Structure 1
Amino acid sequence: MKHSPKLYITNSGIHNPTGTSINISTAHKILKIAEEHNVLIVEDDVYSDFERVPTPKYAFLSDFEHVIQISSFSKSLSASFRCGYIVAKSEYIEILAKIKIASNFNSSQLNAVLVHNTLKDAQYRRYLEYMQHRLNDARYYTVHQLKGLGIEPWIIPKSGMFLWCELPQGISANALAKSCREDHLILVAGTVFSRAKSADQFIRFNVSHCLDQHIFDVLKKHMTRLRERVV
């Protein structure tokens, strides 16, 4: 290993920004590398409630050796519920608990009680299935609309809300994002997520925010403008 990392923070399921999920073979390879080089994996599992088919998790495959799993209910329930959890071996929990006490004495007991009661309710599973179905429909609609503009998803995920899309040749993601702001459309260019030169050809879309035809009309307008400038 060229470098000597101590910490690897990752999404195993519904990766942000690509929307992809890890397969079990790759997960085992990464766990083996982490064990050989004493690297701690922090698995951010915040989007798992949106998975139609659960993906392999580092935490369960390793029995929490070299893995800390973190998650939250701010995505599946409400952003106002600043309530999450950590699953790890007891020695890690003891250290993290001390850090929490030292840095923040006030956790919201009300939020915790509300989340707990929601999770106990039999309707919660139906609610998640409903959300997964809505996202699936939104993904299909968004992919269809984007393809009509020549914007191609790098991959079409089976779950979640993210689409990592490549723009037509010659159109810069940063230039398009800047131009679209004139019509109050905020786009997330690939350069926000990567320093690679190719990142300026990509944009991350959140399908849950793409159900308004106006979004695609604005995209078309500004893509046409950028093409005319090049010519």
Structure 2
Amino acid sequence: MNLVIDPRNGVPMTDQLVTGISGLIRSRQLLAGVKLPSIRALAASQQISRFPVIEAYDRLSSLGFIVPKHGSGFYVANHMGGESGASGGSDPRLAEEESHQILQQFNYPGESLKLSSGFVPEAWRDIEGIAQTVRQVMRMDPSCVIDYAMPHGDANLRHQIQMRLAIVGIEADISNVIVTSGASQALDLVVRFMLKPGDTVFVEDPGYYNLFGLLKLQGVRIVGVPRLANGPDVEVAEHLLKTIKPKLFFINTVFHNPTATNVAPQVAFKLLQLAQQHDFMIVEDDIYADFQTTPTQRLASLDQLDHVIYVGGLSKTLSSSLRIGYLAAKRDLIKDLVDVKVLTSLGGSRFSECVVAALLERGTYRKYLERLRRRIHDTLSTAVQRLEENGWEVFDEPSGGNFIWTRVPGIDDSMLLVEHALKFGITLAPGSYYRPNGEASPWVRINTAHTDDPRAIRFLEHMGKGAGKP
């Protein structure tokens, strides 16, 4: 196996083994049915103890990447990926695989630089502003610490969300809004209520891997539509619609994850036209809306929630711990989604909702956003410059947000970048994580907040000079 383990880089050897071997399987460098080296042989070849190899093989087995055969050894499993950009059927091993990708963001605290992380650094957050508001809320309404939240969400918070929707041109009433535990719950409610096993949806390729895992868990067939610099490829979508009838099309409008691109007005109009002609709904994931200084066109503002379900949230900017998301849709659909929410979680956190409502009402969040946007803007321009000076190719220069979708020319599979990053004490997510069926990709997502770290600077320079190219 073309596997490199570095015991000195601070990343646990078990995690290096899991990342490296799963990457080789994803990129088809290890094909289904291939026998892996024995525990003893792999440990000897890497000059490490057998214990991390045992643990790595056990974890890869639980994730469904490999299959142990008694008395024979370990073999690559025969279930990875799909065909023609589509997949279907509920497989718990696939769910474990997708959750493993998400958990990578939380691994190695204080050890590895998580260069693909989706989080705003703690130092950039308004911790003091949040703490002060928490104290004020507890003095004014102590019961919020122990009471259930209303199923629709706190009325004051929904009113604040209604005003934020107006900023991007969405004319919604408070009855069009439901508060959720992050945008993830909003997506989960939509999937639970609107889809059943065997249904087909369109997703963006590349796109949000947590969504892919959620859909696979529900046995939904997903069909990838290429994401271009101006949004989903509408020509490909139109061609697919000749033979496929999706129920939903999930689209990330502004500062798309992972390409950091925005949907252009002409693309938005065409997507809505297709939704009307072919009778499907669009789920507009606008989770990065607050990173944008000057709002651009939203699908929901053009459509006014007729064929669009709008999802937003504040976890990405304000606090991942408070977990506040929201969904805007037609009143009848909101009523049904509230019923699903009650059945699955009773309600949200009244405490979190009261705190966030107060932060919005008092202008604390607005002032924090102004500072955050300036900091992101300064970091973004420096990061793009550093990448390009070192020979990296940027997919499309972002106008905001904290992601860059980038590649090293001449490297066709970003798993090679992942392997080299480990040597610098960096964990990097391969581009295959962001594809609907885990296909190999040369691209990686970089969080601009970390590109001035000395480890990142050395890594970007090292790879840009052609290290590791075939």
TM-score when scaled to structure 2?
0.46
Match among 408, 411, 418 for residue 167 of structure 1: 408
Task: Give yes or no for contact 1:44–1:69 (8 Å, CA) kept in 2.
Answer: yes
Cα distance in 1 for partners of 2:380, 2:457 equals 14
Residues 197, 96 of structure 1: alpha-carbon distance in 2 compared, 3 angstrom cutoff: closer
Higher relative contact order (CA 8 A, sep 6+): 2
2:371 corresponds to = 130
Could you tell me how far 1:193 is from its partner in structure 2? 1.5
Cα-Cα RMSD: 2.0
Answer yes or no: is 1:4 the counterpart of 2:237.
Answer: no
2:342 corresponds to = 101
Answer yes or no: is 1:68 the counterpart of 2:321.
Answer: no
1:208 corresponds to = 449
Task: Give yes or no for contact 1:52–1:158 (8 Å, CA) kept in 2.
Answer: no
Cα distance in 1 for partners of 2:437, 2:324 equals 34
Q: Of the two, which has the highest radius of gyration?
A: 2
Cα distance in 2 for partners of 1:78, 1:190 equals 27
Question: Any gaps of 5 or more consecutive residues in structure 2?
Answer: 1-240
2:163 corresponds to = none
Percent sequence identity over aligned pairs = 31
Task: Give yes or no for contact 1:146–1:216 (8 Å, CA) kept in 2.
Answer: no
Cα distance in 1 for partners of 2:374, 2:278 equals 41
Task: Give yes or no for contact 2:390–2:461 (8 Å, CA) kept in 1.
Answer: yes
1:146 corresponds to = 387
Q: Which amino acid aligns with 1:226?
A: G
Cα distance in 2 for partners of 1:21, 1:39 equals 22
Could you tell me how far 1:20 is from its partner in structure 2? 0.4
Answer yes or no: is 1:84 the counterpart of 2:325.
Answer: yes
Q: Which amino acid aligns with 2:364?
A: Q
Cα distance in 1 for partners of 2:281, 2:364 equals 36
Moved more, 148-157 or 190-199: 190-199
Task: Give yes or no for contact 1:171–1:226 (8 Å, CA) kept in 2.
Answer: no
Cα distance in 2 for partners of 1:196, 1:110 equals 39
2:255 corresponds to = 14
2:461 corresponds to = 220
Match among 412, 415, 422 for residue 181 of structure 1: 422
Moved more, 211-220 or 110-119: 211-220
2:94 corresponds to = none
Question: Any gaps of 5 or more consecutive residues in structure 1?
Answer: none
1:194 corresponds to = 435
2:360 corresponds to = 119
What secondary structure, in the 3-state scheme, does the structure 2 residue paired with 1:35 have? helix
Match among 100, 105, 110 for residue 351 of structure 2: 110
Cα distance in 2 for partners of 1:124, 1:101 equals 29
2:295 corresponds to = 54
Q: Deviations over 1:8-32 (max 9, x none)?
A: 1111111111100011111011001
Cα distance in 1 for partners of 2:429, 2:364 equals 34
What secondary structure, in the 3-state scheme, does the structure 2 residue paired with 1:216 have? helix
Cα distance in 1 for partners of 2:392, 2:356 equals 39
2:85 corresponds to = none
Q: Which amino acid aligns with 1:166?
A: R
Q: Which amino acid aligns with 2:281?
A: L
Moved more, 123-132 or 80-89: 123-132
Q: Deviations over 1:29-65 (max 9, x none)?
A: 1001011111111111110000122121111110110
Task: Give yes or no for contact 2:425–2:455 (8 Å, CA) kept in 1.
Answer: no
Could you tell me how far 1:137 is from its partner in structure 2? 0.7
Could you tell me how far 1:211 is from its partner in structure 2? 2.5
Cα distance in 2 for partners of 1:196, 1:147 equals 29
1:31 corresponds to = 272
Cα distance in 2 for partners of 1:199, 1:54 equals 34
Task: Give yes or no for contact 2:318–2:365 (8 Å, CA) kept in 1.
Answer: no
Q: Which amino acid aligns with 1:9?
A: F
What secondary structure, in the 3-state scheme, does the structure 2 residue paired with 1:140 have? helix
TM-score when scaled to structure 1?
0.91
Match among 387, 397, 410 for residue 156 of structure 1: 397
Cα distance in 1 for partners of 2:463, 2:452 equals 19
Moved more, 57-66 or 217-226: 217-226
Q: Deviations over 1:81-126 (max 9, x none)?
A: 1111111110110110000011001411000001000011223222
Moved more, 123-132 or 96-105: 123-132
